[in-house]
Structure 1
Amino acid sequence: MLDLRGRTVLVVEDEIMVAMLTEDLLSEVGCDVIVALRCSDGLSLARQGSFDVAVLDVNLGGGDTSHSIARELAAKGKPFLFATGYGKAGIQPEFADRCVIQKPYPAHVLLEAVGHLLTDARH
């Protein structure tokens, strides 16, 4: 697995417990983690681009989804993945080629997916 120490990960997740668990998991392997609990915050952070990779929950509550954030990241060439309980079925067709991990996921699945995205982004 790629060494993730010192890498910054944006986590956009509306469920506070899931966000905290994801943050803890990534922090344990040396990542710096930025958490956004709302779509508007995630979009603002995506526009700033001060991170290496993003992990996006699809459904962010109140009818919001992370698809607008994903569009912003794609336009900037920032690597991202979707983490959702719906699998590929919850993803809009324009993102069909993007990495999707299904919740609940084992820790190694998230870490491997983030590592692959960072490796692919360097090439």
Structure 2
Amino acid sequence: MAILIRIAVVAVSLWLATLLVDGIELGAGTTAARVGTLVAVSIIFGVVNVFVKPVIQIFGCPLYIITLGLFGLVVNALLFMLVGWIAGLLNLPFIVEGFWPAFWGAIVVAIVSFVLHLVIPDRLDQR
């Protein structure tokens, strides 16, 4: 149950990012296709954050220390671009058009996910 809630939270966050950030587009036609695309992209987002992000954080540790953590914003933007690229490889209509849309999209996803996880009861969202 918790994994489904996390997928839904990321899907909603990605949907809001497509609405708020120019350069992040969701090109699916019907509502069902859009929801399916968002769910698929949120799964890709989760896989990238589980497997790729820790490796980058380990190798980028000195940059995190030197920049007092601001390098994390760049890493998140690059990972967001990676998610868009993987979605393109899988023929999913989720497009990230460059670094700055990815930068702002990653911030939107992080903030919305944080707020949604605050609202969802802990018994449902076991982290």
TM range (shorter): under 0.3
- Where relative contact order (Cα < 8 A, 6+ residues apart) is larger, the structure is 2
User: TM-score, with normalisation over the residues of structure 1?
Assistant: 0.27
User: TM-score, with normalisation over the residues of structure 2?
Assistant: 0.26
Structure with greater Cα Rg:
2
